[in-house]
Every structure is written in structure tokens, then in C-alpha cells.
Amino acid sequence: MNFSFQIISFVLMYSVYISFGCGKGVFEWFLKGVISMKKIGIITSGGDCGGLNAVVKGAGLMASRLGITAYVIPNGYAGLYNLIDFSDEELVALNPERADFIDANLAGSEAGHSRVKVRKIDDPNKYERIKKGLEKFGIEGLVISGGDDTGSVMVDLTEHGIKCVHAPKTMDLDLQTYSVGGDSAINRIAMFAQDLKTTGRTHNRIMVVEVFGRYAGHTAFRGGIAADADAILIPEIPTDFDVLYEHCKQRYFDRILNSDVKAGTYLIIVAEGIKDASGRELVDDSAGTDAFGHKKLAGAGKYVCQELTKRFKADPEIPDLMKKARLYVPGIYEIPEVRDVRPGHLVRSGHSSAYDVNFGKEVGGAAVLLLSKGVVGVTVVGVYGTEIRYIPTTEAIRQRHVDLAQVSFHEQQGVCFGRRPENYQPTLRSIEGKVERYM
């Protein structure tokens, strides 16, 4: 029974109930029957990150509480497409006993992932195949956790009559809402970058740490601030390497010359999607694109190393500075060494932050509650007391970039963002009444 038919039935039956004086209680009983679900599916998709297991567990436990059977549909949209071929024994029901085996504190996803755009599947009957798979197991709605790519597929599925609710997930933090995975990634970036300072200072190296963030630099920005980075390069600001070089040169040599043991380092956090001063994205044009049309990036960390090294070699002041630092060795050690490190998937693995576990359980459970009430095609924003907030998924997946006013604030504290610092002019406002916060 599709939702529009349910609504028509509801209107007709409501008229009958009122005509016979059945009262509000009977009406509410009927309304509950119209929109309740018996079976749902849980999908995680796109890139993995911290907090996803909390989403899966939260959704499974809430479903059980409501008398709904929640099935794990493995491996994202690939699993959804192939659901028709699963046997009853292969599909896992998340009853409380099975949900208990899911460690909400672990990153990654018990449900698995794949990067599949349903619209691009080379099968003219793909949507009917998906619907038949859902019908085979009596699954009436889906909780789908993912980012903008995953969300765009969810919108597509909703438009084809499949009931879905989106639990926001992306470590890039570029959705309009907060998304599970962001806090975990920021914490791990900060931890790894801080650790690298020990080897950087020991060898007097300039350390460049490349992290995820193709279109938005939220995790590089916040992770870099938390790690006490000297420079942070993000996609929102085309990098002027002359500005970066002057900042690096002065701070690096000041540290060494002011150290009684002639030791110093300089830390740069760079998002993978940075652009050069002309605004050009650093992509590998010889490589193909992924399922969502994204070109392979060429390596931002390596590029930053090359640009700084080139300037160190061309700068006539460097030999004298190296001699003052007691580092200069002719033909062997004439300029500072610049090294790049890519923690890569380590920042999205391991353990989740406590914040993401809390948020993940709440949006997973809230997504089930929305489905149970017939609210579909939306993204959960959060749970605020007895209020579950949501917005249309088409709105939620619009790109959200780093606020450059926040960047300007941190420029006043000496952090370089690959541009000339801009003047920060704050406005002051007193807040009255209740101040909302997530926790």
C-alpha cells in the first residue's frame, strides 16, 4: 500500500468515524495503524568514520522498542541493489541480543559500505529490482546514514517511491547539519599532528600533514587549531605560497635560533582539496573519476612540500640562516627539510569520540521514530528533549563551507591560512533566555 493511498484511506475512514461519532480515541488508533511499520532496513554508505556503529545500534534498539524488526542491509547501496538475491538466513535482524554485539565506540560500520550511485547502475530495471528486494523481506522503509553523495541517492530513492530517512554522516562536516564522524576525525587529526611534532623537532623538519577534505576544510581547520598548527590550508582559500613561505621561514628559524639546543619545527595541516593561488584544484587529469564523478586528487601534501622547497632553494638568505642555526653542511644540508605525512584512513578508523557515539545513537533512534510516523525524505538534525528536529534532505546535502570569519579570528592569533591576514571586526551581542547546545 503506497503512502498516497494510505492518506486517501485515512481521509475516507476519518469521515466515517466522525459520522458515526466514534470519537478522537478511535481516530488516533486508526491513524497509528496507517503509518506504523513492521519491518525496516538500515544502510550505511559512502566513506566510513567514527560514530556509525552508534547510528546502527541506536536505530536497531529504537526499532525493537517500537515493535519493529530492523534488518541490516549489508554494504550500502550495493547490498540494497542485490537484496533480492539474499536468503532469509543471510539477512541479519537487529534484535536486542544481536545489537548488543555492536560496539558503538568502534569506528567503521557493522553494516558495511560501498560507493554506488543507484542512478548510474547499468540496469534499466534497477528501481524495480530494489523494490522487489524490499518486498521480499517485507521492508517498508529505510534508515540511511551517509553524507552528501549518499543523501543524493536517498533523495533519488524517495522520488521513486521508497520511504527513507537520512541520518547525517560525514567526517568532512560539509552537510548543513552536524554529521556523525566529524568530531572523531577532528580528534584523531589533532592527535596524529601533535605526535608528529616530536619527530619534527628532533630533526628540525617542517612537517606537512595532509588530511581529508575535498571541497570543505572543516576537519583540517578544526583539527589544525586543536593541534596548535602553524599553518592550515583549506579548499575555501586559494593558497598564496609566497605568504605561506614567509610565515614558515620566519617562525621556523625564530624557534631554532631562540632554542638553547637549536631545535625547532613548523607544522602545516593541509586539506586534500586545496587550490593554488589561481584557484585551480590539484587533480590528476590522467586518472578517471569515481561513481560520483569525482576526479582523483594529485596529492596536496607533496605539492606543498615542493612549493616550499623550491622557495628555500631560491632564497639567498637561507644559507646564512642555516649557518646561524648551526645546521649548514655544504652539499648535504643547505636548506630546511620539508616532509609530508598522510595519516589517510587512520583518521576515520579506530575508536569514535564520545560526542559522536552520543549523537549517532540519537540520530539513529530518531530516524526510526520519524519513519514510524510516516515522515520520509528528510534528514535528522538532532534530538532536543522531546523534540526531534529534521529538514528536507535536499536542503541538508547542500555544501557547507568553513566560515571565513572564523578563519579571520584565528589569523589574529598568528595562524597562517595561506593568505594575508584579514581584519577581524567582531560584533558584540548579549544573549538572553535559554542557550541551546547539543550536550
219-242 pLDDT, tens digit per residue, is 999 999 999 999 999 999 999 999
What amino acid is encoded at 256 in this protein?
Answer: I
For 114-118, what is the mean pLDDT? 90
What's the pLDDT at 2?
45
Residue 50 is classified by DSSP as: T
Asked whether the predicted pLDDT for residue 305 surpasses 70, the reply is: yes
Asked whether the predicted pLDDT for residue 10 surpasses 50, the reply is: no
Residue of 278 and 46 predicted with greater confidence: 46
For 92-98, what is the mean pLDDT? 95
268-294 pLDDT, tens digit per residue, is 999 999 987 777 776 645 545 655 555
* CATH superfamily of this structure's domain 188-348: Phosphofructokinase domain (3.40.50.460)
- Give all strands (DSSP E) within 90-182, no chain letters: 92-93, 141-146, 164-168
Q: Write out the three cell numbers for 438.
A: 547539543
Asked whether the predicted pLDDT for residue 6 surpasses 60, the reply is: no
Please report how the helices 354-372 and 182-202 are oriented relative to each other, as an axis angle in degrees rounded to 10: 160
312-369 pLDDT, tens digit per residue, is 999 999 999 999 999 999 999 999 999 999 999 999 999 999 999 999 999 999 999 9
Average pLDDT of the chain, as a whole number = 89
Confidence class for position 120, pLDDT limits 50, 70, 90: very high
Confidence class for position 23, pLDDT limits 50, 70, 90: very low
What's the pLDDT at 58?
97
pTM for the predicted model, two decimal places:
0.87
Residue of 172, 183, 230, 340 with catalytic role:
172
Question: How would CATH label the architecture of 36-180+352-396?
Answer: 3-Layer(aba) Sandwich (3.40)
Q: Is 240 a catalytic residue?
A: no
What's the pLDDT at 293?
59
What's the pLDDT at 115?
87
Q: In this structure, are residues 56 and 363 in contact, taking their beta carbons and an 8 Å threshold?
A: no
Cα separation, 134 vs 37, whole angstroms:
13
Q: Where in the chain is the domain with CATH 3.40.50.450?
A: 36-180+352-396
- Residues paired with residue 176 on neighbouring β-strands, in sequence order: none
416-430 pLDDT, tens digit per residue, is 999 999 899 999 999
149-188 pLDDT, tens digit per residue, is 899 999 999 999 999 999 999 999 999 999 999 999 999 9
Cα separation, 138 vs 192, whole angstroms:
46
Asked whether the predicted pLDDT for residue 11 surpasses 50, the reply is: no
Cα–Cα separations (whole angstroms), residue 25 to 19, 22, 318: 14, 8, 83
Sign of the alpha-carbon dihedral angle for 210, 215, 220, 225: positive
Q: Where in the chain is the domain with CATH 3.40.50.460?
A: 188-348
